[in-house]
Chains A and B, each alone.
Chain A
Amino acid sequence: MKVVLHIWRQTKRSTEQDHKQDGRMVRYELADVSPDMSFLEMLDVLNEHLIGRGEEPVAFDHDCREGICGSCGVVIDGVPHGPERGTTTCQLHMRSFQDGAEIWIEPWRAAAFPVVRDLVVDRSAFDRIVQAGAYISVNTGAPQDANAIPVPKADADRAFDAATCIGCGACVAACKNASAMLFVGAKVSHFAHLPQGRVERERRARNLVAAMDAEGFGNCTNQYECEAVCPKEIPVRVIAEMNREYLRAKVIEQPAGGKQIGGHG
């Protein structure tokens, strides 16, 4: 099959000013595409042609190519990871497109995800959010037996549903406000459902939301595009859970330096 591609090309990392001048869409025609190819294999073929012609290949992030590492991800015809639900870009196959299709391929767009080159963006904002508190503070070697605390299966399953996030950033790319609330909600929800995670729940909710805000992500307006494009189909329930956890944490927060009522110094 044949396809016509419009791909964002950009050689330099995006700067604070004037992002639009950083790159442009370039049109490519590709004739030798097999419907059994994955989308990224199609880009591989394009790159082999480009190198043959002496043009620099299109840079795109990818690694495991089986939908779990979260490296890959481009916006295909306006939809992150393309037209199939619950699918990463690497799991998308060309059989999902018509012969002769025109396909627009763009990088994730968000102030918090500056473009590094072509379709590659910098998602380190996600790592910084996790560093702010998406963990349980337990040192190696300290724990008790794994079966010491029973966890209801339903809770474990819910925690798992949230923990399945691959950190690809499609939620941010899809949100018209470039909000990271599905990502952060997933972290909050994962730990909030486990007894081990509840010890630090208030601190975690406060710190994660503060870190998220500091990165310059937008605010959720409950349109649920994130849920629609999430390759792991994480539900927006996790955002409601985060809102709840955050509200709860703020309500019971003690003033800084304040003493507990009835406390004796």
Chain B
Amino acid sequence: MTWLFDFWRSSIGGKVTMAVTGLLLFGFVVAHLLGNLQLFAGPERLNAYAKMLADSGALLWVARIGLLVVFVVHVVTAIRLSRANKSARPVAYQHEDTVQATFASRSMVFSGLSLLAFVVYHLLHFTFGVTNPEHFARKGVGAGGHDVYAMVTTSFAVPAIAIAYAAFQIVLFLHLRHGIQSLAQTLGLNHGRLTPLIGKLSVLLAALIAGGNLLLALSVQLGVVKVAS
């Protein structure tokens, strides 16, 4: 284990940790989106999916704990690296400029911290039912499962919530747009022909994920999805 810890503490080890956990989190985001897109298939489908998840028991907990660990490692490593980065340049330039760094790449810490806040809110909202208890935990259609469909649609019927969720998708887009190509580079994938492709793919994937989520958030407001009665 000290080997692993030493690796994590090295600069490249830290970067690789970010890349690997980032890749796993990206995988989760994809799965999460695919699951949630069932919103468009109607309440039965979505709630059945939710129940299936809820009924997976131990497996669910393993996944949840795993995800939590990955997430915490991603965040903790990010904090360690950015603190090191800050102390590597104790005096800032009086006149700053950049040549080719993208906005997304320069705002990874900001977008990351925003996403952290969003995830906390998202969990309090939909998983723990703290922020909007009135939307939460309505016994529903399926066999004793939560009425997830109702929870989501009633929430997104509130314009402020819908807008907040939508806005965070822009942040997610920025984070992924840099993160996806960045993880390829960190893991050593840089090739004359592939790299420009990865750059484009990175934007495309980020746009698909953020766009999909955005569509979900705005689905009620746009009238694509009906609010559960």
Which residues of chain A have a CB within 8 Å of any CB of chain B?
Answer: 6, 8, 19-20, 25, 75, 77-79, 104, 106, 109-112, 174, 176-179, 181, 209-210, 212-213, 216-225, 227-229, 236-237, 239-244, 246-247, 250, 253, 255
Given A179-B85, A222-B181, A222-B185, does the pair A247, B12 have CB atoms closer than 8 Å? yes
Contact between A246 and B12, CB atoms less than 8 A apart: yes
Contact between B12 and A77, CB atoms less than 8 A apart: no
Contact between B15 and A243, CB atoms less than 8 A apart: yes
Which residues of chain B have a CB within 8 Å of any CB of chain A?
Answer: 3, 7, 10-16, 81, 84-85, 87-102, 105-106, 108, 178, 181-182, 185-191, 195
Contact between A109 and B92, CB atoms less than 8 A apart: yes
Contact between B188 and A219, CB atoms less than 8 A apart: no
Known: A213-B11, A223-B101. 7 other contacts (CB 8 A): A6-B94, A213-B10, A223-B106, A225-B99, A225-B101, A228-B100, A246-B10
B99 contacts which chain A residues (CB < 8 A)? 79, 174, 225, 228-229
Contact between B93 and A178, CB atoms less than 8 A apart: no
Q: Report the separation of the CA atoms of residues A110 and B92 in the bound assembly, to the nearest whole angstrom.
A: 9
Contact between A75 and B14, CB atoms less than 8 A apart: no
B186 contacts which chain A residues (CB < 8 A)? 220, 222, 240, 243
Can you sample 10 A-B contacts with CB below 8 Å? A110-B89, A177-B85, A179-B85, A213-B11, A217-B88, A220-B15, A227-B100, A229-B99, A239-B185, A243-B16
Given A104-B94, A106-B94, A221-B182, does the pair A216, B11 have CB atoms closer than 8 Å? no
Nearest chain A residue, comparing its CB with the CB of B101: A223
Complex partner residue of A20 from B91, B96, B108, CB under 8 angstroms:
B91
Shortest CB-to-CB span from A229 to chain B, Å, is 6
Complex partner residue of B10 from A210, A241, A255, CB under 8 angstroms:
A210
Shortest CB-to-CB span from A231 to chain B, Å, is 13
Complex partner residue of A247 from B97, B188, B195, CB under 8 angstroms:
B188
Shortest CB-to-CB span from B209 to chain A, Å, is 19
How many residue pairs between the two chains, A and B, have CB atoms under 8 Å in the bound complex?
137
Contact between A216 and B95, CB atoms less than 8 A apart: no
Q: Report the separation of the CA atoms of residues A90 and B86 in the bound assembly, to the nearest whole angstrom.
A: 30
Contact between A221 and B108, CB atoms less than 8 A apart: yes
Question: Which of B81, B106, B190 neighbours the largest number of chain A CB atoms within 10 Å of its CB?
Answer: B190
Given A176-B85, A237-B190, does the pair A19, B10 have CB atoms closer than 8 Å? no
Given A228-B99, A240-B190, does the pair A222, B178 have CB atoms closer than 8 Å? yes
Complex partner residue of A110 from B88, B101, B181, B190, CB under 8 angstroms:
B88
Q: Report the separation of the CA atoms of residues A210 and B101 in the bound assembly, to the nearest whole angstrom.
A: 27
Contact between B12 and A111, CB atoms less than 8 A apart: no
Q: Report the separation of the CA atoms of residues A213 and B14 in the bound assembly, to the nearest whole angstrom.
A: 11
B100 contacts which chain A residues (CB < 8 A)? 223-225, 227-228
Contact between A243 and B95, CB atoms less than 8 A apart: no
A229 contacts which chain B residues (CB < 8 A)? 99
